[in-house]
Each structure stands twice: as C-alpha cells, then as structure tokens.
Chains A and B, each alone.
Chain A
Amino acid sequence: MTEFRAVHNGERRRDSPIMTSAPRVCRKCGAEIFADAPEGFCTACLFETGLDLLTNPSLAADDDSGCSENIKVRDSIVARRGKKESERPKTFADFGDYQLLEVIGRGGQGVVYRALQKSLNRTVALKVIGLGHWASDAHLKRFRREAEAAASLDHSGIVPIYEVGERDGSCYFSMKLVEGGQLDAVVKREPMPIRQAIELIAKVARTIHYAHEHGILHRDIKPGNILLDQKNEPHLTDFGLARLIETESTVTRTMEVLGTPSYMAPEQAIGNNDAVSGLTDVYGLGAVLYQLLTGQPPFAGGTTYETIKLLLDTEPRQPRLLNPKIDHDLSTICLKCIEKDPKRRYSSALALAEDLERWLKHEPILARRIGILTRGKKWVRRNPTSALLAASLVALAAAAGWIISKSELIWHPLTTGIAVLPFENLSDEKEHAFFADGVQDDILIKLAKIADLKVISRTSVMQYRGKQNVRQIGDALRVSHVLEGTVRRFGGKLHINAQLVDARTDAGIWAEEYDRDLNDVFAIETEVAQSIANRLRAKVSAREKAALQEWPTKDLVAYDLYVRARPVIEWAGVRSTKEKDLLQAVDLLNQAIARDPEFLRAYCWLARAHDTLYFGEIDRTPGRLDLAKSAITSAFRLKPDSGEAHLALAVHRYWGYFDYDQARAELAIARRTLPNDPEIYYFSALIDRRQGRWSDAVHNLERASELDPRNAFTLNSLAAIYYFVRAYHQCGEAKDRVIALQPNDARIKLERAMLEISWRADTRPLHAAMEKISADDPAHKKNEELNGARFFLAFYERDTVTAGRTVAALPEKDLNDDVGFGRAFWTGLVARIKGDAAAAHAAFDVARAVQQQLVQARPDSGGRLSGLGLIDAGLGRKEDAIREGRQAVELTPIAKDSLEGPEVVTNLAAIYAWVGQRDLAIEQLEIAAKIPNGVHYGDLRLDPTWDPLRGDSRFEKIVNSLAPR
C-alpha cells in the first residue's frame, strides 16, 4: 500500500482536486462539516439532537416537575429575572470546557450530566445546579461549601471531585463518572441479595466513618446518593448539602430542611440543626438499609408533609413483616439505626459497620434486641421541643405548597390526569385493529385502577383515534399527560411502541419499544402501565400494584373474541342493528369463556350484554335476566372482590329490577377498586338523584363527566340535574358544552333555549334558536324537534293559531310516558285557552281513553295516575280528579322517588287549580317550589295551566320567590 502525504485529521480533509471551497465549520461545536454531511449539517450535532439533551443546563432543574402551579411559579420567577426565551444561550451541548452528552440524573437542586471534558479528553459527571428559582448568595455559598467539603476527602468510597465553578449564572462541579448508576435505580432493576446489601452498607458505613473522622457530615444519605460502579462497589456522592441554616427566613429554613424526607432523621426533619451529628448519618444508613432489605423506605407518606409526620409520630414497620427472609439480628441492626432518639442508635458509623461485619461472619451482634416496651414510647412526647415541632410542621405545611413541587418528592404525582389514546394499528390485517384497541384498553384499565391517577375513560378518548395534536387533546380532556402508541401484529410476533407525552409542553417524557412474541402482550401491557405509573410518580398501593400485573386471560384467541365483542356492547345503544349486534357479542363472549373459563372480564361483559338486551327492551323476559345473573355469579366465583363483578351486579340490579339500594351498595364496593370508572359515578348519581341526595348526585355526575369529558350523554345528565336543582347558570354551561360536542343536535340547542324560559321567562332565545336551526336546515330534517318547540312556544305565548296548527303534528303519546301527555291532551289545553269548551271536552275525552290504558298497564305509576287526574279535572270530573291526584301522590311520594314525586305534586297543584280549590293548589305549589324538580319561575309565569291562580297574592309570592336575582 502506498503511503500518502499526511492528511490533516486523518481521512477527514480531502485534498482532492474537486474540492475547491473552503471547509465549513459548525458554529455550535466547531467541528468541520464535510461535503458528504447529510443535509449539509454538522452530523455530530445532529446525532446529539437525538439524545435527551436540554438547551439550557441552568434551567434544567426546572424541567421535570410539571404541575401547572410549578410552571406558574417558575414563569413568574423567570419573568422577574427578566430572562426571555430568546435570551437563553444558544449553545446546545456546550458548557465551557465540557461537552454535555447525556442526562444521567436529576435531583432536587440540579441535574447531573455525563460530559466530556474537552481539555483533558475524559468523560466525567457534571452536576449543574439549577439557579432558575433561587440564586441567593446563601445558595451559592452552600454549594461551594458542599463541593469543598467533598473535595477534601480522598477515599475509594467517595466520588472524587475534580473541578468546581460557576458559569452563566449556574454553579457546577465535575466529578468522576461512576458507571452503573444510582443504588435505587439498580435495585429497581433487580433486587439485591441480602448478603450483598449488607456488604454494601458496611462499606458505605466505613466510608462515612472516614468522612466523620475528617469532620465532615454527609447529611443526605439516600439511595440516590450511592452510586455503584461496574463492579457494584459503592461510591458516595453529594456530600454535605450543608444544611446549616444561614438565614432566619422561614422559607429558606424550610428549604434547607427539605430534601428527601424518607431517609431523613427526625432531628433533621424538625429543623433542629444543633442536634444534627454523625448519628444523623447513621440514621440515613439505616434507612437505606431498610430500603434494601424490604423494598421500601421506613416512612413514606403521600406528601413530604405526611412523610415527616409519619417519621416523627410512628414507628417503622418491622422489616421481617415486609421481607420474611430477614433474620432477627438484621432486623435489630436495622431498627437500631433508625431509632428516633439519636442516643439510642449506634454510637457511630463505625459501630454500625462492625456489627454488620459481625453478622456477615455469623458472629453475635452487639446491638441489644429492642424490647416491646421501649419500642412503644414515642420519642416526640419526651422531647421538650414539641412546641417547636408543631411550629415547624406548620411552617412546613405553609411553605409546602410551593416548596413541595420543587423538591425531590418521592410520591408527588406529576400529573393532573392521563389520557390513553387509541393505539394505531400498523398490522396489515384490518382485523387486528380490534387487537390494537384491546391493548390500549387493557393499559387504560390497568392505570385506571390507580386511585392516585386520574385516567380518562375510554369513551372520551376513542374520539381521538388518529388525531395528533397532543396539546389540543390535553386541553379538551383536561389532562396533563397523554399516552400514545402503535401496535403491529404479524404472525406470532408483536411490535408495540408506546410513548408518554406531556400534553402541556408536547415533550415526550418516556418511550419504549417492544419487539416480542404475541404471547407476551399482557406482560408488555403490565410493563407499560408500571412504567407510566412510575414516571408519573403515582402513589400505588400494594393492592393496586398487584392489580397492575393481572392478565385478563391466558388464551389469546379468547382475548381476540373479547376485544371484538366489547365495543359492540358499548356502542350498541346508538345503532339500529342493536339486537343483532348484541346477540353476536353474546355469542363471541360465550366462545371466549368456553376457551378460558377463568376469563373474568368476559363474564362481566356477557352480563352487561344480557342486561342491555333486557333494559333496551329487546328481550324483556326473566330468562334474559337469569343469563346475566349466571354470568355475574361465575365472575364472583372467580374473584369475589372484583370491582368489575360488583359493577356488573350493580347494573344488573339497576336495569333489571330498579333495586336502587342494592345497586348502590354494589357500586360503593366497585368504586374502591375502580376509582376511574365513570359508569360507577354515573349510576351512583342516578340513584342519588332518585333517592333525593341531590348534592351527591351532582358531585357524582361531575366526577363522571370529569373522567369522561367527551361524553355528551353524561354531560347532558349533569345539565339536567343542575336544572332540577335550579342551578340554571351551571345548567346553561353544561348544555353549552354538550352543544360543543354535538353541534348538529337540534334538540339540545332547543333545550338550551328553553332553559331561558324556565329561568327568566324569556322566550326570545327559543325563537332565535328555532330560526337559526330552521335556516340551517333546508332539507327539513329537524322538523320534528322544531315542531315540538313551535308548539311549546305558541302555547306559552297564547298564540292559539300556531298552537292549533302545530299540535296536530305532536306524537300521540309522550316519549316520557309515565308523566307526560300526548296530542289529545294538548289539543284540549289549546281549546281551553281559546275558550272553546266543547272542543276542549272532546279532546280531553280522547286523552282520557289513552291515559286509562296507560294507567292500567302500570297501576303502580303515580305519574300516570296523576295524568289521568288532570284530564279528569279538565273534563270537570272534580271528585275523580282529586281522588286520582291524591292517590298518585301516595303511590309516588317524594320520599320514595325524588324524581317523579315532585312532578306528581305539581300535577296535583294543577288539578286543584283547575277544580277551583285554590288554597290546596297553593299548598302543593309551595311544596313544589322548594324541592328539586318542582316548579320553575318562568313556567309559573307563562304556563296557561296556572291561569286560575293568577292574581292570588300567595301565588304571586311563590312566583317571586323563584325569580332570578
């Protein structure tokens, strides 16, 4: 091979005669850009874009805690400091002598990067303190002290500090890069064997002892500060965090105190810095040991505040209860370290190390077994500074609202809600679309079992199939996070892609790709759900954790059948092929169950299919109900405490028997394990409404709507309840939201306008709405709704001509056939207003015949009977009318039925008014005016029904009492 003239930088520079232009240089990193660089960009920089890098390291610490409150605070601080986005330094991965390669850790104060130190060409760990929120001198001082303290130590178990400095307003220090990661990350991947854990802690304890001998305390021992190298040797980092109090400001003081409370010693937690000593570090060691042995820290509450309360007031759970493999000696050692009274702990880190080493050598340990008596005593009570404690807790709580979102909270959920969007089906076979939906649904169901998360229901997210604008979706559904994914099923393999996006910033915060066997689908779903829960820092109870790992079925064919059947049942109500669809779903589910008799969910949905057939009036035979019951029984046999089974039973009792009480009881049980299921809240609300718990009904419907924001039906029910309780403003808002969801629905728009009549006696909005709908509807498709509204308006406005014309087009029987009236009745009423007694009589006669039939069909219905009473009043049959009216109230009293009861009372008032019994009428009206679903201002003012009472001062008083303010 021929040698050639030396080329600058090896092969990079081309001395080919073709290259005539001067080489280009990347303005960011300074490297040369060659002619073959793709798209003409600096390829290395392009690659780095592919990594998870941040544009400004000093604001990096802000980045991950995303709750809106936090963002507001951060924004206000940034604004105060006058820094605008455009002013941020454009250097991307460059940080002076360091080139940032990758984020390897985040802490409460700063971010740790893997970086290349250019001058020495070595890879280091670089910690940069985010000073975006607090750049006080105290903070800077503290930082320097931390770094100097650590730098003075020279021990194999302590990560050496290389350099300390300041740049662009950020403080940083570089240290040796320990490959292997933080202890907590490592044990999360695979739990550590006990012996190994003990050896590790013993080493760390000796390291701490060394530091103590040099007069330096760590003060922040926690798994995150113990790094493991390739050989799993521990290295301590983040020394000091100098918790010495500099200023007397409460906020700063609290800030100093807070760190990771789970591993914090009590004397630190209450801010008693005089009491902080080497024994505090012993506590930290014990807490980490506890974590390694049991899988959890000794105290962990939902918030920092709660954790500290637990830490101060309660005793840690016995390690042996959490991990039976721990023997008594180990348990003793562990608990001795985390005694609340420092004097009761090991006297030094060395003593701890030695006892641990004795255990390793199977020698007897020195720590005395903690007696039952001593364990019971609470340290706090003996402590004279309890007043101080109380004050500190209060201060903590006050500052907690702001501070908590900044500090490294273990359990603070990062989310205000998550929506799991439909997964895109990338399989070639169209039928695998169901499968993709099944995957999404399973993950949704898993996440929904976590009470600490708000998970949007499936009905609402399905509308976003194929849509991409995550921010819009987040807004519409009012969630902070969105999970999207793709599923590709080919042969016996599966390729799933999932990513979690912060909807507020459109930033991806987690993504994973799974390339596995089809049989692994449920394992993948579990992993995804667990990763999400983790990422969102949701608090997951032990039971919820177990629920996450449940698999719907072992049989994939059965699963396929199920995913096909389920949407059919869900959407059956809106389709005309209801009966055929439901029966087909039943068939599919039966097949699924035949294949896997332990497929719980299939049973529950089978029951639902049967109940839907019954309630939807397709098959109202008892046999159908029995089929549902049998499926439910099977479900319970498989899992007696299954939330899904309890929900299925609730729906069964509700739809099949109107057994509100049992349904309610079942719903309450179901709610415990299905906290994000809107149906539970919806049905609960219906029952509450029926049983007069209006406030509960409102709350439940609001919750149902929150979980299912795109569900117009739920929203409409919510609007209805607001209407019943005369919360007209909220009713209007809810109806407006429904209109936004279903802009083509004329009926809703008309109802919205009719609200104004009941509320304010204002008929103009309804006129306007009718005109608009009519104008937009040249094909006259909306005639039916328009006609009803036209009649109603004409009736109220006493426009007998229009009324007479439009009444003929009304349906013979009202759809709401328990309390409503049909065409004949309204014809009679119109005639009555006109003063045409004969016509009225004739019409009422017809109406009576119709109503008689209805009463005979349901003799227990107070509503139907009261209708008959009113017709009889119109016919002049006074005694009959009064008798029927009163009997109706007895049949359906308000106490028994808060929905129908008031309507019957209102009818009785009308009956009395028509037969001339004014006093009795007023008496009933007074009742109706006070209860939900009674009478409304506008109706009393405008409805001709009440004409006989006009002028009566008591009547006017009632009307005025309901007038809008």
Chain B
Amino acid sequence: MSANDSGASGSGISPTELRREDGAAVFATTHWSVVLEAQGKSPTAQDALEKLCRTYWRPVYSFIRRQGAGPEEAEDLTQGFFALLLERRDLDAVRKEKGRLRSYLLTSVKHFLASEQRRAMAVKRGKGQRVVALDGLSANERTEVEPTDSLSADRLYERRWALTLMEQVLRRLRDEYSTGGNAVLFDSLKQLLPDEPGAPSRAAIASQLGMTDNALRQAFHRFRHRYQLLLREEISHTVAIASDVEDELRHLITVLRT
C-alpha cells in the first residue's frame, strides 16, 4: 500500500514485517503530489497513479452509471477511462483543479465521456483489458437507481469518493490491528469511534474484553489517534500540498452533510 506509518497494533510486530505481509506495493508512495511533480512521466509516477486509480475507481464508476450507462457499459467505460488516463502522460489540466485528485478525476471523466474516445474504447471492449479491478461491486451498486440530472451525478461522485476514502482508512486500520492479532480489539473499539449516543458504553466493552476501564480508555485514545492519522494520511495522498488536507477533510464533511 502506501508508506505505512504503522505502529498502532502494539503487538511487537515490526513495521517491516507488516509491510512484507502487504506484499506488492511496499516502496512506491501513492502520493498524488508525486504524480504531479513528475508530470506523470516517470515510472514512479505511473506506478503511483495506477495505485491511486485502483483505490478510487468507484466514484468514477458511480458517476458514469449516473450519467446513463448500464452496469456492463459503465464497467467498460471505467476501464477505458483509466486505461486512457494512464496512457496519457500529460497532466497540465490538473493545475486548474488546485491539484486535487478528486477534482482531477471528475473533470477527466467528464471530458472522457464527452469525447469521441468513447467510441474508440467501445471498440476495445471485449479485449479483456482490465486496468482496474472492479470486483467488489455490490449487487446494490449494479442495480443502482437510474439517473437524474448531472448535478446529482457530481454529488454522487463526491459522496462516493468520501465513502471510498473512509473505507480505505478503516480497512487500513483494521489491517493494522488484525496483523497485530488485535482484530477483536478493533471491532470493539470501532464502535466508540463515531461517539454515537446509544453505542455500547466503554465500561461494557472493557468488561467484554477483560480490560480495565483505564486500559480501554488508553487503548481507545491510541485507536482514535491512529485513525485520525490514517485519515489524514489517506487524504494527503490525494492532494498536492500538505496544507490542503484540512480543507479537503472539511470539504468531504460538507459533501456528506448537504
């Protein structure tokens, strides 16, 4: 995955071991900034862009669906879009979008859909070219509600982006804890994260896990802290400059709240 500042599990597994378990992408950073800097021309940048695309294809797919494509067509178009994106190495358009991957992808897919290349991609259909793994599309998503106007599509895209990001963060957090043998702890602590009234009380969880209240409080602090770090880190991968992270976070909250 990305540069993993792990350490939340506290189980004694060293970070190098953790990352070895991750297999593949140990080295490459998935920072969007890397891609921008290199103008997408270097292999590292290509690599980074590829990984980012693999993580964030879902919003693109949802957008395309909302634009009127049926499930199979949307899948093909999504594949085609990313294929073209990765083939093309010029990212000048990005500067206009204040350097955020989210905006960049949205603009790009709009251009893509509007352009003639669609036709060309349709021809490539059936050649088995799979650039991004579209597995995991739930039954719901395949039969998603039919489209309305494009404004909703934009909002849908943004919302899906936020959800994807959150999934990514939670998955990483879960992985860290699982690898440390703390999967149960993760499942327990996560309930406390949104601070929802009516969630199981800290005391109840503590006794369930056989921990003292104090120990649980500490564990939760670390958990939440780690979550916050991962959240920011994940966001930072999609923005060009570090100071944009807060703004992006606020934007995503607004997107979800309106």
Contact = CB atoms under 8 A, between A and B. Distances in A.
A31 to B, nearest CB: 7
Residue of B162, B194, B222 ringed by the most chain A CB atoms within 10 A: B194
Interface string B144-176: 111111001001100100110011001000000
B229 A10 contact: no
Contacts of A466: 14
Contact of B152 (A10, A42, A91): A10
A14 B145 contact: yes
Contacts of A19: 140
Contacts of A44: 253, 256-257
Contact of B253 (A1, A48, A486): A48
A669 interface: no
Interface stretch (A49-57, A650-658, A838-846): A49-57
Which size class do A's interface residues fall under?
35 or more
Contact of B148 (A10, A39, A47): A10
Contacts, number: 153
A38 B163 contact: yes
A523 to B, nearest CB: 15
Contacts of A37: 163
Contacts of B181: none
Nearest to B11: A468
Contacts of A46: 166, 193-194
B60 to A, nearest CB: 15
A436 to B, nearest CB: 11
Interface stretch (A140-148, A215-223, A503-511): A503-511
B193 A515 contact: no
Contacts of A102: 250
Interface string B70-112: 0000000000000000000000000000000000000000000
Nearest to A51: B249
B233 interface: yes
B253 A27 contact: no
A28 B198 CA distance: 9
Contacts of A116: 257
A497 interface: yes
User: Quick one: which of A29, A38, A505 has the most chain B CB within 10 A?
Assistant: A38
Interface in B213-240: 218, 221-222, 224-225, 227-229, 231-233, 236
Given A4-B145, A490-B27, A41 B228 contact: no
B15 A426 contact: yes
Nearest to B66: A11
A18 interface: yes
A524 to B, nearest CB: 12
A956 interface: no
B156 A11 contact: yes
Contacts of A953: none
A495 interface: yes
B206 interface: no
B140 A18 contact: yes
Interface string B179-222: 00000000000100111111000000000000000000010011
B115 interface: no
A948 to B, nearest CB: 62
Interface stretch (B2-10, B45-53, B117-125, B127-135): B2-10
B114 interface: no
Given A43-B163, A497-B5, A31 B143 contact: no
B236 A506 contact: no
A11 B242 contact: no
A576 interface: no
Contacts of B27: 428, 490
A497 B229 CA distance: 10
A67 interface: no
A499 B143 CA distance: 45
Contacts of A15: 145
Contacts of B250: 51, 101-102
A91 B197 contact: yes
A506 B226 CA distance: 12
Nearest to A90: B197
Interface string B20-32: 0000001101010
Nearest to B4: A426
A55 B10 CA distance: 26
A53 to B, nearest CB: 9
A14 B190 CA distance: 27
Contacts of B141: 36
B218 A16 contact: no
Contact of B3 (A26, A49, A488): A488
A49 B193 contact: yes
A424 interface: yes
B163 A11 contact: no
B195 A50 contact: no
B98 to A, nearest CB: 16
Given A41-B194, A426-B5, A428-B26, A511 B229 contact: yes
Interface string A465-507: 0101101000000000000001010100001010100000111
B196 A7 contact: no
B196 A41 contact: yes
A843 to B, nearest CB: 56
Contact of B5 (A2, A42, A471, A486): A486
Nearest to A10: B152
A10 B152 CA distance: 7
A4 B66 contact: no
A43 B148 contact: no
Nearest to B214: A471
B163 A39 contact: no
A650 B237 CA distance: 50
A240 B97 CA distance: 44
Contact of B166 (A7, A47, A511): A47
A661 interface: no
B231 A50 contact: yes
Contacts of B222: 468, 506
Interface in A48-104: 48-51, 55, 90-92, 99, 101-102
B252 interface: yes
Interface in A892-949: none
B148 to A, nearest CB: 6
Most B CB atoms within 10 A — which of A47, A101, A495?
A: A47
A55 B221 CA distance: 13
B101 to A, nearest CB: 15
Contacts of A51: 249-250, 253
Nearest to A7: B145
A63 to B, nearest CB: 14
B68 to A, nearest CB: 5
A39 B195 contact: no
Interface in A552-591: none
B28 to A, nearest CB: 10
A469 B222 CA distance: 9
B196 A4 contact: no
A471 B26 CA distance: 32
Given A4-B146, A101-B253, A50 B227 contact: yes
A37 B164 CA distance: 9
A14 B143 CA distance: 10
A35 interface: yes
Given A31-B257, A102-B250, A495-B29, A45 B138 contact: no
Given A4-B147, A49-B193, A91-B197, A43 B166 contact: yes
* B29, B144, B148: residue with the most chain A Cβ atoms closer than 10 Å: B148
A876 to B, nearest CB: 67
A358 B33 CA distance: 48
A18 B144 CA distance: 10
A1 B147 CA distance: 7
Contact of A515 (B14, B31, B140, B218): B31
A45 B194 contact: yes
A136 B250 CA distance: 37
Q: 9 closest A-B pairs (Cβ-Cβ)? A: A44-B256, A50-B231, A90-B197, A45-B194, A506-B221, A92-B195, A38-B167, A11-B156, A4-B146
6 contacts: A18-B143, A41-B194, A43-B166, A45-B195, A92-B194, A424-B5
